[in-house]
């Protein structure tokens, strides 16, 4: 099989780099090169709490990470990220992943993120790229699949090039067999669940809306991380109205009003579900 030239030059050894370039001015700032260049170019690391982009070497035998981050930026979406060659390949899924095999979810490919980003839950300040509240909605491990066995990194490259990536997830909300299929251009994909024992008609974005690491809602994350009033209202609007809260007594202590269940159609529309003062 003919192998084309790599689109991305290999990133220089991380051993020669510093997280803080100012610490050692003699070392060149290499953040403009490699697979995280776009990520770094879009962000001001003196302002945003997001981590600067550096690639990480993979220890042999360690499973590949995946993460899904719920992100109320200009619009609500779920960032679906798969570890590959030291970075997190990323797709923005506006409606979030669905475990229903008959549902195809649009997934727009976005710039690869650093692996450190998998730990990020908080608020990106107003005016910064992607400004808004971020929740770690699910995480776990993943593996590429080729026919009836697991594939390797080269297989991932092959399938990405072909525009059809088959994989298995082992997360706390998402599991089993999935596929990403490219539909148009270079960035538009569909995320689809395969039929297996993890398939269901459950809307996980409604039934399991809380952070997998902190148990918090979007509003609670926004409040704790200094969201602006506008961002806080948007974060609250991204929570399902009847989100089972980690601390329902505390949140509702001042009010005896019991809310009626509201169907999911109003869920994604921030202004409808918002109960901001």
Binding region for Mn ion (CB under 5 A)? 71, 79
Nearest distance, CB of residue 132 and Mn ion, angstroms: 8
Smaller CB distance to Mn ion: residue 79 or 83? 79
Nearest distance, CB of residue 96 and Mn ion, angstroms: 12
Asked if 82 and 64 count as a contact pair (C-beta separation under 8 A), the reply is yes
Nearest distance, CB of residue 92 and Mn ion, angstroms: 5
Quote the DSSP letter at residue 247. S
Distance CA 49, CA 45 (A): 7
**Sequence-ordered list of residues with C-beta below 8 angstroms from that of 189, at least 6 positions apart, any chain:** 91, 106, 107, 108, 109, 163, 180, 181, 182, 183
Nearest distance, CB of residue 150 and Mn ion, angstroms: 28
Nearest distance, CB of residue 130 and Mn ion, angstroms: 5
Instruction: Write the secondary structure of 190-242 as one string of H (helix), E (strand) and C (coil).
Output: EEEECCCCCCCCCCHHHHCCCCCCCCCCHHHHHHHCCCCHHHHHHHHHCCCCC
Nearest distance, CB of residue 70 and Mn ion, angstroms: 9
Smaller CB distance to Mn ion: residue 98 or 133? 133
Quote the DSSP letter at residue 266. G
Nearest residue to Mn ion by CB is 71
Quote the DSSP letter at residue 6. P
Smaller CB distance to Mn ion: residue 71 or 267? 71
Smaller CB distance to Mn ion: residue 79 or 157? 79
Smaller CB distance to Mn ion: residue 73 or 192? 73
Smaller CB distance to Mn ion: residue 39 or 145? 39
**Sequence-ordered list of residues with C-beta below 8 angstroms from that of 213, at least 6 positions apart, any chain:** 121, 136, 139
**Given 3-state DSSP classes, what are the helix, strand and coil percentages for the chain, each rounded to the nearest 5?**
20, 30, 50
């Amino acid at each position: 099989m003919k192998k084309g030239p790599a689109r991305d030059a290999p990133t220089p050894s991380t051993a020669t780099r510093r997280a803080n370039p100012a610490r050692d001015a003699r070392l060149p700032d290499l953040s403009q090169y490699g697979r995280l260049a776009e990520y770094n170019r879009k962000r001001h690391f003196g302002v945003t709490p997001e981590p600067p982009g550096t690639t990480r070497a993979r220890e042999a035998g360690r499973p590949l990470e995946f993460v899904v981050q719920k992100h109320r930026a200009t619009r609500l979406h779920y960032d679906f990220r798969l570890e590959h060659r030291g970075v997190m390949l990323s797709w923005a899924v506006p409606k979030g992943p669905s475990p229903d095999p008959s549902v195809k979810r649009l997934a727009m490919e976005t710039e690869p993120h650093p692996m450190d980003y998998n730990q990020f839950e908080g608020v990106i300040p107003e005016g910064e790229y992607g400004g808004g509240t971020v929740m770690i909605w699910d995480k776990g491990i993943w593996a590429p699949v080729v026919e009836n066995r697991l594939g390797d990194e080269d297989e991932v490259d092959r399938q990405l090039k072909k525009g059809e990536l088959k994989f298995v997830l082992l997360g706390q909300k998402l599991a089993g067999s999935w596929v990403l299929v490219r539909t148009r251009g270079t960035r538009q994909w569909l995320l689809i669940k395969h039929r297996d024992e993890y398939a269901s008609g459950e809307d996980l974005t409604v039934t399991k809306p809380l952070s997998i690491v902190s148990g918090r809602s979007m509003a609670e994350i926004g409040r704790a991380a200094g969201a602006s009033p506008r961002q806080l209202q948007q974060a609250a609007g991204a929570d399902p109205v009847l989100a089972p809260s980690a601390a329902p007594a505390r949140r509702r202590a001042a009010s005896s009003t019991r809310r009626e269940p509201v169907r999911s159609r109003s869920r994604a529309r921030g202004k409808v579900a918002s109960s901001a003062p």
